[in-house]
């Protein structure tokens, strides 16, 4: 049994239970008050930065509107994300197109809708941007290594070597674009704050060389996402992240910082969500097997994709939890007819021995990368629904 108090206040827990008591599982309930607090805290810790919420973490329109009302900007990855954000009345000046993998037609669409800020990491993409989005602002994403200390790494696929970033910035200028700066993403749920140190040092090197040899003055650093939310595996506090990152920035750039952008996803919405599921079956594979298999009505295909390789270990609460109650190890699995739909097998959750069919499991900190990752209906299981609690003053 986890210590629920470490993850959610008693009051928020009671409000969640009252709000959700008649909902049919599985579902994710979002508490917008938590997102509001997360946003204010991030603002407080990084007062010198602009926030571009990474919409993919949780694209619920209520969340986008809430963050827009608090002053957030938005980082987008596709046309449907752009259409959704624009339909909420958010202006194109507050948007960036951060996906480095895009079709020329997508670039043209964003440009036509008024977006003028584009990420890139390749010559081919930059050529497309130069022709389909003339005169736009460009930032180049550099490659950073983050495979061992980030719980959900984003390495290899995105970004380019700093030498290539150098060439891309020059090419951007030569093709009539505005070279804005450098971006990176140190990996999601990054537990090693030092990863920002390396990335900022590479960025500084690029700023200096480009100014010295090309006369190009970059003006912006995009520090990406990677800031933590609360799962079982502990992290430093956000205030420790902020203090260290500020120190790295000042060490490299002095007190007069360039424009700084953050692109948080997980850290803004992760702990705002609770995913509720029901036990479909509890069984053993033979009469003397020590471990029970607990099958749920949620799995990898309808909400819990980030259990791939058991990467994200959510805090789990059950409707049978009692202090001092007897518990034993279980293997947790989802409801579909797919062998991959096992949630946790190597990592052994201990759950009450009297857990039965129909009992509930609550996965805490499931506000990010759950509903937006659900398949459209594998095996007929619908994508998990999101319910937003009313925002009280
Ligand atoms: C997914 C993503 C983010 C958000 O990352 P988190 O670790 O969830 O904060 C930010 N920037 C880009 C470009 C992304 O793809």
276's enclosing H/E stretch is strand 273-283
Beta strand spans in the chain (E):
27-30, 49-54, 73-76, 95-97, 117-120, 137-141, 150-152, 178-183, 188-190, 220-222, 259-262, 273-283, 292-296, 316-318, 327-333, 342-352, 360-364, 385-388
Closest CA to 388 of 4, 8, 34, 7: 34
> Which is it for the CA torsion 259, 265, 267, 273, positive or negative?
positive
Q: Is any ligand 1 atom within 6 A of the Cβ of residue 159? A: no
Q: Among the listed ranges 210-214, 294-298, 370-374, which one has the minimum average pLDDT value?
A: 370-374
Tokens at 273, concatenated = 């969500």
Query: Which residue minimizes the CA distance to atom 14 of ligand 1?
Result: 54
Helices (H) then strands (E): counts for the chain = 10, 18
Tokens at 50, concatenated = 């602009």
Q: Give tens-digit pLDDT for 208-225.
A: 999 999 999 999 999 999
Helix ranges (DSSP H) in 302-346: none
Closest CA to 42 of 203, 231, 269: 269
Atom of ligand 1 nearest to the CA of 225: 9
Phi, psi of 327 (to 5 degrees): -135, 155
Q: Give tens-digit pLDDT for 32-86.
A: 999 999 999 999 999 999 999 999 999 999 999 999 999 999 999 999 999 999 9
In this prediction, residues 197-215 reach a mean pLDDT of 98
Task: Please name each of the domains of the chain with its CATH number.
Answer: 32-264 (3.20.20.10), 270-388 (2.40.37.10)
Tokens at 225, concatenated = 């996402």
Query: Which residue minimizes the CA distance to atom 13 of ligand 1?
Result: 98
Distance from Cα 215 to the centre of ligand 1, integer Å: 31
Q: Is any ligand 1 atom within 6 A of the Cβ of residue 141? A: no
Q: Give tens-digit pLDDT for 114-165.
A: 999 999 999 999 999 999 999 999 999 999 986 788 999 887 889 999 999 9
In this prediction, residues 315-323 reach a mean pLDDT of 96
Distance from Cα 183 to the centre of ligand 1, integer Å: 11
**Residue 316 and residue 387: Cα distance in Å, rounded?**
19
Distance from Cα 293 to the centre of ligand 1, integer Å: 34
In this prediction, residues 347-359 reach a mean pLDDT of 97
Cis peptide before 26 (omega within 30 of 0): yes
Pairing of strands 360-364, 316-318: antiparallel
Distance from Cα 223 to the centre of ligand 1, integer Å: 10
Distance from Cα 259 to the centre of ligand 1, integer Å: 19
Q: Give tens-digit pLDDT for 83-114.
A: 999 999 999 999 999 999 999 999 999 999 99
Helix ranges (DSSP H) in 215-346: 238-253, 266-269
| Per-residue pLDDT, 294 | 98
Q: Is any ligand 1 atom within 6 A of the Cβ of residue 224? A: yes
| Per-residue pLDDT, 123 | 98
Q: What is the mean pLDDT of the chain?
A: 96
Instruction: Write the CA distances from 278 to 171, 297, 361, integer angstroms.
Output: 55, 6, 6
Atom of ligand 1 nearest to the CA of 264: 9
| Per-residue pLDDT, 275 | 98
How many angstroms from the chain centroid is the CA of residue 33? 18
Closest CA to 168 of 98, 202, 216, 208: 216
Task: Count the alpha carbons within 13 Å of 389 in the hemisphere toward its beta carbon.
Answer: 26
Distance from Cα 112 to the centre of ligand 1, integer Å: 25
User: Which region, left, alpha or beta, applies to residue 51 given φ > 0 means left and ψ of -120 to 50 means alpha?
Assistant: beta
Pairing of strands 178-183, 220-222: parallel
| Per-residue pLDDT, 154 | 82
Look at residue 392 and tell me whether its pLDDT is greater than 90.
no
Enter the pTM of the model. Answer: 0.97
Atom of ligand 1 nearest to the CA of 222: 11
Atom of ligand 1 nearest to the CA of 270: 8
Q: Is any ligand 1 atom within 6 A of the Cβ of residue 264? A: yes
189 contacts: CB under 8 Å, gap ≥ 6: 150, 151, 152, 226, 228, 229, 231, 235, 266, 312
CB 116 within 8 A of CB 136: yes
Distance from Cα 91 to the centre of ligand 1, integer Å: 21
Distance from Cα 334 to the centre of ligand 1, integer Å: 27
Q: Give tens-digit pLDDT for 323-347.
A: 999 999 999 999 999 999 999 999 9
User: Which region, left, alpha or beta, applies to residue 365 given φ > 0 means left and ψ of -120 to 50 means alpha?
Assistant: left
Q: Is any ligand 1 atom within 6 A of the Cβ of residue 188? A: yes
**Residue 40 and residue 321: Cα distance in Å, rounded?**
33
Tokens at 100, concatenated = 């480095």
In this prediction, residues 276-299 reach a mean pLDDT of 96
| Per-residue pLDDT, 393 | 66
């Amino acid at each position: 049994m986890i210590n629920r108090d470490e993850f959610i206040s008693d009051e928020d827990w009671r409000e969640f239970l009252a709000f959700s008591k008649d909902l049919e599982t599985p579902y994710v309930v979002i508490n917008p008050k938590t997102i509001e607090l997360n946003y204010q805290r991030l603002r407080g810790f990084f007062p010198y930065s602009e926030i571009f919420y990474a919409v993919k973490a949780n694209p619920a329109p209520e969340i986008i509107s809430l963050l827009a009302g608090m002053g957030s900007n938005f980082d987008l990855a596709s046309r449907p994300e752009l259409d959704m954000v624009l339909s909420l009345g958010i202006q194109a000046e507050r948007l960036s197109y951060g996906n480095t993998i895009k079709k020329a037609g997508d670039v043209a669409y964003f440009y036509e809708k008024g977006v003028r800020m584009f990420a890139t990491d390749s010559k081919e993409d930059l050529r497309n941007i130069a022709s389909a989005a003339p005169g736009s602002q460009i930032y180049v994403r550099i490659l950073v290594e983050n495979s061992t200390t980030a719980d959900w790494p984003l390495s290899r696929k995105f970004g380019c070597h700093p030498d290539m970033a150098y060439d891309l910035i020059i090419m951007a200028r030569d093709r009539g674009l505005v070279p804005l700066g450098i971006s990176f993403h140190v990996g999601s749920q990054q537990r090693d704050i030092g990863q920002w140190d390396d990335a900022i040092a590479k960025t500084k090197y690029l700023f200096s060389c480009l100014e010295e040899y090309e006369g190009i003055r970059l003006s912006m650093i995009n520090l990406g996402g990677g800031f933590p939310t609360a799962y079982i595996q502990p992290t430093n506090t956000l205030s420790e992240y902020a203090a260290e990152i500020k120190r790295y920035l000042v060490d490299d750039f002095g007190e007069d910082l360039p424009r700084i952008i953050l692109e948080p996803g997980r850290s803004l919405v992760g702990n705002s969500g609770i995913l509720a599921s029901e036990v479909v079956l509890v069984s053993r594979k033979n009469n003397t097997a020590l471990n029970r298999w607990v099958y749920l009505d949620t799995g990898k295909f309808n909400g819990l994709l980030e259990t791939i390789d058991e990467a994200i270990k959510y805090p789990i609460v059950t409707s049978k939890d009692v202090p001092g109650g007897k518990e034993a190890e279980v293997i947790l699995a989802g409801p579909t007819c797919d062998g991959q739909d096992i949630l946790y097998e190597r990592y052994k959750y201990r759950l009450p021995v009297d857990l039965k069919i129909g009992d509930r499991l609550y996965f805490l900190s499931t506000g990010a990368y759950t509903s937006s990752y659900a398949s459209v209906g594998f095996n007929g299981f619908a994508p998990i629904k999101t319910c937003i609690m009313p925002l009280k003053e």
